[in-house]
Structure 1
Amino acid sequence: MKVISLNVNGIRQAADRGFFEWMVRQDPDVVCLQDIQADERTLNDSVFFPPGYNTYFFDSMENPEQAGVAIYCKTMPKAIMTGMGFPECDFEGRFIQADFDKVSIGAFLTPHGSNHEVTLQEHKYRFMEGFKNHLIKTRRKRREFIFCGTANVARSPIDVSSWFVNQRNSGFLPEERKWINEIFNELEYIDAFRQVNKQDKQYTWWPDYERAWKLDEGGRLDYQIATPGIKNLIQGGSIYKGQRFSDHAPLIMEYNID
């Protein structure tokens, strides 16, 4: 099973940059998109609905032009679930999950946070706490899960450029790194990409200007977070940098799952 995750920073922008043509060529089984920034009812062009894929959206109820997530999948899911039961997620369209026979795959989007606006950072922390509680509950279930999305947190110094300076910035604050490492350590979830790639400078995000892209000054803010039973099923993983569809790059993972 090939699973692609991408923060599109606006699904229309990504489409204009050729994302869907690229996606079809990749022939993935499941694609998880974050930050679609669109009301599904306004996506009338066929480019957003490629043949061979079942498509599911979860828009923000507060402002459809912000946040939002989507799942594209070849196999029709047994069920689709939206939201995680708390307002920072459910009112803003930040989680959708597709249940298949052997695995459930979800797309999640953590808020950005801010160095300067306390309310935005507090909003991010509330989402993080709610998401962690959801992951705790998930561990009690008797099936495997893969959560694909933007955590907006770099896990360790090798996951961000200028790591020493960035310790004062949202996205690499000590509290944020503590949160994501609790997910992988205490809750025993798997950082799927790091199971197959231990190198530094494996970034999935760069500031939206050419200098950062050319100098490779960014951060690994996007993850595929898997339950422990998935660990031995991970066959490969990569970050695609051949084209820019947004300020994030597609994270491509291969699993030995039918």
Structure 2
Amino acid sequence: MRIITANTNGIRSANNKGFFEWLATQDADVVCIQETKAQIDQLTDAVFTPEGYSCAYNDAEKKGYSGTAMYCRKAPNRFVTELGWDPADSEGRYIRADYDNLSVISLYMPSGSSSEAAQAKKDDFLERIYPHFVELKNEGRELIICADWNICHKEIDLKNWKGNMKNSGFLPHERAWLDKLYGEAGFVDAFREINQEAVYTWWSNRGQAYANNVGWRLDYQVITPNLVPTIRGASVYREEKFSDHAPFIMDYDFSL
């Protein structure tokens, strides 16, 4: 089972940079995309509904903004795109594919870096989404949450951690939220189960951040504990640059 999560920073832009040609070589079972920045009526080209996959998009009401997508080789029992609250629904930040006893989620967390109001929106989102994850887990479902959290958890997760301790994405209360998710709620950072190295998935477009690998690990696959023994591999794809994020790939030893 191969699951890929990727923030495309505009799915049409990523397509122009070769994302879908690369994706066709990956034999992925599930693909989770964040920040599509497109309405479904702008994605009529067949490339945006890859052959052999059940595809779902959740667009933001605001054009050219946010949005998520999922491609599933095995059709799920259902796709869920509404949580019943904003901005999750109005900004298309959530898609869930439900199988019999497992759900895969594509989630795009708001960024708080632009203003105090943006950070407040992000904090509210964190508060609202946490009990949703707990509820799904308490129902006995296995979960794989593929998310651009817009948060780094530990110092190892960003190059310049000392200079970012007061910046959105590495604020103490954001990191504490992940502590709570992994501690009290019992979820697991799948990547860190098998890799303790400094690996990043996002780089600023300013300066030479990408060339010098001055990055942040913002993209995660967070899983329920029963799935930990099935982890077989994890990698970040950097040979081509489709976005300011890199695709994050994980392989598991189970099938849907």
Question: TM-score over 0.5 for the alignment?
Answer: yes
1:221 equivalent in structure 2? 218
1:145 maps to 2:143? yes
Q: Secondary structure at the match of 2:6?
A: strand
2:45 equivalent in structure 1? 45
Q: CA deviation at 1:225?
A: 0.9
1:69 equivalent in structure 2? 68
The question of whether the paired residues in 2 share the 8 Å contact of 1:35 and 1:66 is answered with yes
Decide which of 119, 126, 129 is 2:127's aligned counterpart. 129
Counterpart code for 2:224: T
Q: Secondary structure at the match of 2:70?
A: strand
- Output one character per residue of 1:124-178: Cα deviation in whole Å (capped at 9) or x when no partner: 1111111112112122112211010100000000001111111011100111111
The question of whether the paired residues in 2 share the 8 Å contact of 1:104 and 1:146 is answered with yes
Give the Cα separation in 2 of the matches to 1:136 and 1:50: 32
Give the Cα separation in 2 of the matches to 1:33 and 1:210: 26
2:9 equivalent in structure 1? 9
Moved more, 150-159 or 134-143: 134-143
The question of whether the paired residues in 2 share the 8 Å contact of 1:191 and 1:224 is answered with yes
Counterpart code for 1:126: D
2:185 equivalent in structure 1? 187
2:229 equivalent in structure 1? 232
Counterpart code for 1:235: R
Counterpart code for 1:257: F
Alignment of 1:1-258 (within 5 A): 1-61=1-61, 63-114=62-113, 117-200=115-198, 202-209=199-206, 211-258=208-255
Give the Cα separation in 1 of the matches to 2:161 and 2:206: 19
Give the Cα separation in 1 of the matches to 2:51 and 2:222: 28
Runs of 5+ consecutive residues of structure 1 not aligned to the other structure: none
The question of whether the paired residues in 2 share the 8 Å contact of 1:83 and 1:94 is answered with no
Q: CA deviation at 1:102?
A: 4.2
Counterpart code for 2:182: F
Counterpart code for 2:152: A
Q: CA deviation at 1:12?
A: 0.4
Counterpart code for 2:146: C
Instruction: Give TM-score scaled by structure 2 length.
Output: 0.97
Q: Secondary structure at the match of 1:12?
A: helix
Runs of 5+ consecutive residues of structure 2 not aligned to the other structure: none
- Output one character per residue of 1:20-71: Cα deviation in whole Å (capped at 9) or x when no partner: 010010110000000000001111111112211111001112x031110000
Which structure dedicates a bigger proportion of its chain to helix? 1
Q: CA deviation at 1:119?
A: 0.7
Identity %: 40
Give the Cα separation in 2 of the matches to 1:103 and 1:31: 15
Q: How many residues align?
A: 255
Q: Secondary structure at the match of 1:57?
A: strand
Instruction: Give TM-score scaled by structure 1 length.
Output: 0.96
Q: Secondary structure at the match of 2:177?
A: helix
Q: Secondary structure at the match of 2:104?
A: strand
The question of whether the paired residues in 2 share the 8 Å contact of 1:88 and 1:126 is answered with no
Counterpart code for 1:53: Y
- Output one character per residue of 1:80-109: Cα deviation in whole Å (capped at 9) or x when no partner: 111323212111100000112342101000
The question of whether the paired residues in 1 share the 8 Å contact of 2:149 and 2:219 is answered with yes
Q: Secondary structure at the match of 2:107?
A: strand
The question of whether the paired residues in 1 share the 8 Å contact of 2:111 and 2:150 is answered with yes
Give the Cα separation in 2 of the matches to 1:45 and 1:230: 36
The question of whether the paired residues in 1 share the 8 Å contact of 2:151 and 2:174 is answered with yes
The question of whether the paired residues in 2 share the 8 Å contact of 1:208 and 1:247 is answered with yes
- Output one character per residue of 1:207-229: Cα deviation in whole Å (capped at 9) or x when no partner: 02460011100100011111111
Counterpart code for 1:152: N
